[in-house]
Amino acid sequence: MSTWHKPMTAACSIGATLWALAIAAAQAPGALPGDEAMTCAQIAAELGPYMQRMTPGVTDLAATGQEVIHRGNKRVAGETPAAVGLTAAALGSMADPTGLSGKAVGQAEAAHQAEVWQRAEAEDKPLNDKYRAQAGAVAAQGQQLQSDARLKRLMELVEKKHCDAG
């Protein structure tokens, strides 16, 4: 056997392996010819319709979330005078050596907090229900997209090509 036979055999073996890997990659679920040559801009363009399908639900969910936050902030602002008054009463009750006034203030604070909580639950129930429904719809849509073989392939390319490293 000549000395060139072993290197030639190794080269052919490596070439066959690379060819097999290229075929396997092209046959991967969701793969299309030319995927490996795609630029990040091309991948982003192909991802666009997927993102457009998600955008309305995510936008609505974000708007409802902002409304929940706004209501909470408004409620805190409305309850600030009561909180200040109860804090002043608690500080004043420290002068009572018997501790009875401190106990009464503590009970008043607990009752007030319970009342605020119950009122908030009742007032915000429709909005919270809407938020939960929207979040569920977005999650379901995301689950559905996770089963899309082409989307998975595009996301693999994004990661492989470091397209998200911005």
pLDDT at 60: 95
pLDDT at 28: 72
Q: CA-to-CA distance for 45 and 47, rounded, in angstroms? A: 5
Residue 162 region, left (φ>0) first, then alpha (ψ -120 to 50), else beta?
Answer: left
Tokens matching residue 43:
């991948």
- Which residue blocks in the chain are alpha helix, DSSP H? 5-26, 40-93, 100-146, 149-160
pLDDT at 29: 84
pLDDT at 164: 78
Q: CA-to-CA distance for 90 and 97, rounded, in angstroms? A: 13
pLDDT at 64: 96
SS (H, E, C) 98-131: CCHHHHHHHHHHHHHHHHHHHHHHHHHHHHHHHH
Check: CB of residue 164 under 8 Å from CB of residue 42. Answer: no
Residues of the chain with pLDDT under 70: 1-27, 165-166
